[in-house]
């Protein structure tokens, strides 16, 4: 789902963490490493355009779940705890090799839930905490979701309902049954994981938590986003952008400019004019992408 989930034009990433982590454009002198968790059905390539827009200050390291892209031959996972356990272990192991490097977690939709749960798992295991957690287009874990279950629907009904709710499967995939057939197993597995997820009541995190959302998102209202304030004792902020559930595609320039400003402020050695140029650079790239 989403505009950039399935594109193949990208530089070859450096794969670490036992195939779980894709360093999309390694930056040895980056001020911060950003681990990005994709939405349901998507691969690490959903974030392939981000490194060029964020510049040298932030290294983008995307999570690659089984059952897609270079892990297509692996069975997809159908439970959030299994995804979280493996991703948290990969991140903790990798960051142990870089003990002085700060990091942050970002996730969109399902990825937002995964990022939050990974932050909790790192805390429970006594690992370093992220400098910042950013959750996008996902209701807080303890906020009820009254939507009807769809993971057991037949394929045609499943695809139709995914499109009705999210509008996220590109038309070029819907038009090719063979390509859609490759997507459906991991998409159904991800939806199964979401619909069978049972949140736990735990002490809140301590790191800063920022929540993004779309003003016209029919699935996650601003009031749902605001409930994330209860999941941290640290600073909390919320920003709502124009657009629906996949506002992230159309508003990428604004999102990445905001993200950069939060993660690498000027006192970290990142020049103000370099950070401000993110917005202009991202807009230019969008015009040609």
Check 11, 45, 53, 109 and give the catalytic one. 109
Q: How far apart are CA 167 and CA 248, in angstroms?
A: 13
CA distances from 281 to 48, 136, 276, 277 (A): 15, 22, 9, 6
147 is catalytic: no
* DSSP structure string for 197-261: ------PPB-S-EEEEEETT-SSS-HHHHHGGGGGBSS-EEEEEESSSTTHHHHTHHHHHHHHHH
Q: How far apart are CA 88 and CA 232, in angstroms?
A: 19
Whose tokens are 């020049």? That residue is 271
Whether residue 70 contacts residue 64, with contact meaning beta carbons closer than 8 Å, is answered with yes
Q: Which residues are catalytic?
A: 109
């Amino acid at each position: 789902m989403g505009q950039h989930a399935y594109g193949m034009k990208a530089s070859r990433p450096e794969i670490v963490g036992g195939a779980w982590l894709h360093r999309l454009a390694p930056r040895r002198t980056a001020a911060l490493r950003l681990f990005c968790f994709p939405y349901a059905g998507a691969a690490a390539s959903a974030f392939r355009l981000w490194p060029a827009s964020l510049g040298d200050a932030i290294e983008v390291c995307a999570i690659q779940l089984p059952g897609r892209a270079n892990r297509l031959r692996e069975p997809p996972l159908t439970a959030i705890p299994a995804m979280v356990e493996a991703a948290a272990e990969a991140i903790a192991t990798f960051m142990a090799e870089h003990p002085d490097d700060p990091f942050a977690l970002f996730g969109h939709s399902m990825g937002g839930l995964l990022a939050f749960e990974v932050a909790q798992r790192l805390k429970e295991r006594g690992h370093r905490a992220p400098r910042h957690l950013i959750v996008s287009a996902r209701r807080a874990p303890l906020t009820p979701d009254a939507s009807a279950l769809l993971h057991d629907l037949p394929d045609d009904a499943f695809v139709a309902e995914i499109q009705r709710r999210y509008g996220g499967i590109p038309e070029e995939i819907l038009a090719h049954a063979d390509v859609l057939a490759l997507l459906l197993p991991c998409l159904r597995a991800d939806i199964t994981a979401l619909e069978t997820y049972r949140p736990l009541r735990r002490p809140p995190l301590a790191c800063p938590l920022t929540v993004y959302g779309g003003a016209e998102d029919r699935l996650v209202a601003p009031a749902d986003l605001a409930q994330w304030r209860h999941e941290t004792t640290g600073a909390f902020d919320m920003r709502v952008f124009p657009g629906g559930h996949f506002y992230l595609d159309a508003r990428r320039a604004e999102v990445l400019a905001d993200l950069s400003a939060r993660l690498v402020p000027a006192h970290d050695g990142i020049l103000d004019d370099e950070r401000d140029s993110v917005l202009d650079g991202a807009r230019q790239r969008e015009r040609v992408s």
